[in-house]
């Protein structure tokens, strides 16, 4: 029997209620806990995130070197353009708009509190047409 159970990724931010709402909408999640300084959610696929109040939280500056990556979330999606529109509509912002070459197409974003995350296209497993 394991002494340690799977945990939750915690993001520090000034307003956990607002950041939890952003990720609830993005991940089709439900809120599982709320206290004065912490909100937790669980996404439809089981991902668990928490948002902890830190009134002195400084947003990461990625891709600039000062105060760069503090944490990085990676989400796989089936349709990049559609999810990008949702992210922007929820108050997120694009960090890098150039095309990324390679096996997986990816796009970088920041949530409303400045934490960076990536949307990564799930490669198609369907046979090529034509």
Beta bridge partners of 96: 108
Query: How many Cα atoms occupy the beta-carbon half-sphere of 26 within 13 Å?
Result: 31
Tell if the pTM clears 0.75, that is, is over it.
no
CA distances from 16 to 8, 12, 55, 76, 107 (A): 15, 8, 10, 24, 24
Residues, the chain, total? 130
Task: Please tell me the distance from the alpha carbon of residue 89 to that of residue 102, in angstroms, as a whole number.
Answer: 28
As a whole number, the mean pLDDT across the chain is 82
**Below-70 pLDDT ranges, the chain:** 1-6, 61-71, 96-104, 123-130
- pLDDT tens digits, 19-48: 999 999 999 999 999 999 999 999 988 989
């Amino acid at each position: 029997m394991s002494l340690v159970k799977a945990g939750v990724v915690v993001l520090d931010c000034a307003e956990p209620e607002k950041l939890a709402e952003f990720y609830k909408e993005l991940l089709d999640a439900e809120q599982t806990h709320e206290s004065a300084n912490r909100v937790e959610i669980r996404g439809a696929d089981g991902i668990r995130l928490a948002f902890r109040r830190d009134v002195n939280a400084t947003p990461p500056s990625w891709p600039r070197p000062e105060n760069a990556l503090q944490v990085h979330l990676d989400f796989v999606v089936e349709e990049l353009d559609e999810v990008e529109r949702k992210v922007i509509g929820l108050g997120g912002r694009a960090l890098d708009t150039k095309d990324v070459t390679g096996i997986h197409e990816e796009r970088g974003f920041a949530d409303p509190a400045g934490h960076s995350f990536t949307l990564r296209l799930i490669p198609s497993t369907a046979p090529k047409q034509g």
